[in-house]
Amino acid sequence: MIFRQLFDAQSSTYTYLLADSATREALLIDPVFEHARRDGALIEELGVKLVWTLETHVHADHVTGAWLLKCRFGSAIALSKDSGAEGADRYLADGESVVFGRRSVEVRATPGHTAGCLTYVLDDRSLAFTGDALLIRGCGRTDFQGGDAHRLFRSVRDKVFSLPATCLLYPGHDYRGLTASSVAEERLYNPRLADAVGEGDFVGYMTHLGLPHPKLMAVAVPANLRCGRPEKEDTMSKTDADWAPLSCTFAGIWELQPDWVAENSARVQIIDVREPAEFTGSLGHIMGAKLLPLGFLMERKQEIAKDLPVVMVCRSGARSAQATVMLGNAGYAKVANLAGGMLRWRGQRLPVEGGTD
């Protein structure tokens, strides 16, 4: 099993990636719209194939990345049949399972935070993703979207606390940075839902939470009822650069592949940030490249035109990744790193000036 927990600091939302390490088929639980690129980069770097995005519910505080990821990877969108959402590929009911490779998650209906809340339980019951039905030492609010404290109480007791005591629990949010819990822990220590707490106590607690509505609620709920499809569908192309086929790594670096740079070298400024001895050394340098060692990049940046695209180069692509970030921070909009640097360039037998075989 491949398992990753990802975080959105804006809404304190967790996204989970699960993949079968044998077949590489993967699913994402609760992707966030603004992080579709980050999640996509991780999917590509891990070499997994996204087959599903699953929602634990129709979120009120952020927009799902399901539609964006479907556009990019062809992943199918699934959420509860009681969600009221349109545009999904599958509407899930209690007891069904969602298969990825040789693994699967079991669907458990856990309404109460919203009417269409689901908990996903890994096939071996070692992990469960509770969405906002159960948070660490807390739970989702019950005051909108068909929320109902009585239903939430029953959902948690019957569908989550019936899992093995050792089952790890991964929530939809945590507002304090806590990452995981377990059934045993929550049954003992959850202040609202521990075994010792009665249904009446819980309902009383939830009736007096007094939380303001989520700031993004008016935007998020309608967008999530469309599974994250924007009203105008050009959002992804607008946010992606149009000057080159850029890709963004999970590390957050905009990259270009050597082939494209070789074919388009006349249209870009190639800045080689190695030391002079490396520039004239055995790897050689790209024709037309300008030598500007990393240590001098900021003080000599006026030598780089702002209106022309910039490609940063070094030996392995590491120093030039830093140079890409530095120039971006200095206000250069069209700047990318040459993936793999001169080593990959030479490995692909692309032309150089100087250098030795």
Ligand X SMILES: N[C@@H](CCC(=O)N[C@@H](CS)C(=O)NCC(=O)O)C(=O)O
Binding interface with ligand X (CB under 6 A): 11, 59-61, 132, 138, 140-141, 173, 175, 211, 214-215
Number of residues that bind Fe ion (CB under 5 A): 1
Partner that binds at residue 211, options ligand X, Fe ion, none, CB closer than 5 to 8 Å by kind: ligand X
Tell whether residue 20 is a contact of Fe ion (CB under 5 A): no
- Residue whose C-alpha is closest to residue 172's, from 214, 222, 203: 214
Which of residues 82 and 132 has its CB atom nearest to Fe ion in the complex?
132
Nearest-approach distance from CB 51 to Fe ion, in angstroms = 24
> Which residue shows structure tokens 């521990």?
194
* Residue 174: CA count within 13 A, CB half-sphere: 19
Nearest-approach distance from CB 325 to Fe ion, in angstroms = 34
Partner that binds at residue 341, options Fe ion, ligand X, none, CB closer than 5 to 8 Å by kind: none
Nearest-approach distance from CB 56 to ligand X, in angstroms = 10
Which of residues 180 and 350 has its CB atom nearest to ligand X in the complex?
180
Q: How far apart are CA 357 and CA 353, in angstroms?
A: 12
Nearest-approach distance from CB 132 to Fe ion, in angstroms = 4
Alpha carbon 253 to its chain centroid, in Å, reads 15
Output the CA angle 90-82-52, nearest 5 degrees. 30
Nearest-approach distance from CB 66 to Fe ion, in angstroms = 15
246 to each of 37, 128, 270, 355, how far by Cα in Å? 12, 36, 15, 28
Which of residues 44 and 143 has its CB atom nearest to ligand X in the complex?
143
Instruction: Write each residue from 81 to 120 as x if it is in contact with Fe ion (CB under 5 A), else as -, in one continuous string.
Output: ----------------------------------------
Which of residues 59 and 274 has its CB atom nearest to Fe ion in the complex?
59
243 to each of 40, 246, 247, 308, how far by Cα in Å? 20, 8, 12, 10
Nearest-approach distance from CB 216 to ligand X, in angstroms = 6
Contact present, 159 and 134 (Cβ < 8 Å) = no
Nearest-approach distance from CB 59 to Fe ion, in angstroms = 5
Which of residues 147 and 309 has its CB atom nearest to Fe ion in the complex?
147
Nearest-approach distance from CB 118 to Fe ion, in angstroms = 12
Of 124-132, 150-158, 223-231, 326-334, which segment contacts Fe ion by CB under 5 A? 124-132
Nearest-approach distance from CB 236 to ligand X, in angstroms = 24
Which of residues 22 and 178 has its CB atom nearest to ligand X in the complex?
178
Q: Tell me which residues in 202-241 interact with Fe ion (CB under 5 A).
A: none
Partner that binds at residue 309, options ligand X, Fe ion, none, CB closer than 5 to 8 Å by kind: none
Partner that binds at residue 277, options ligand X, Fe ion, none, CB closer than 5 to 8 Å by kind: none
Which of residues 140 and 341 has its CB atom nearest to ligand X in the complex?
140
- Which residues are within 8 A (CB) of 44 and not within 5 positions of it... i.e. 6 or more apart? 247
Which of residues 173 and 285 has its CB atom nearest to ligand X in the complex?
173
Partner that binds at residue 192, options ligand X, Fe ion, none, CB closer than 5 to 8 Å by kind: none
Contact present, 23 and 48 (Cβ < 8 Å) = no
Tell whether residue 132 is a contact of Fe ion (CB under 5 A): yes
Which of residues 136 and 313 has its CB atom nearest to ligand X in the complex?
136
Which residue's Cβ lies closest to Fe ion? 132
What is the binding site for Fe ion (CB under 5 A)? 132
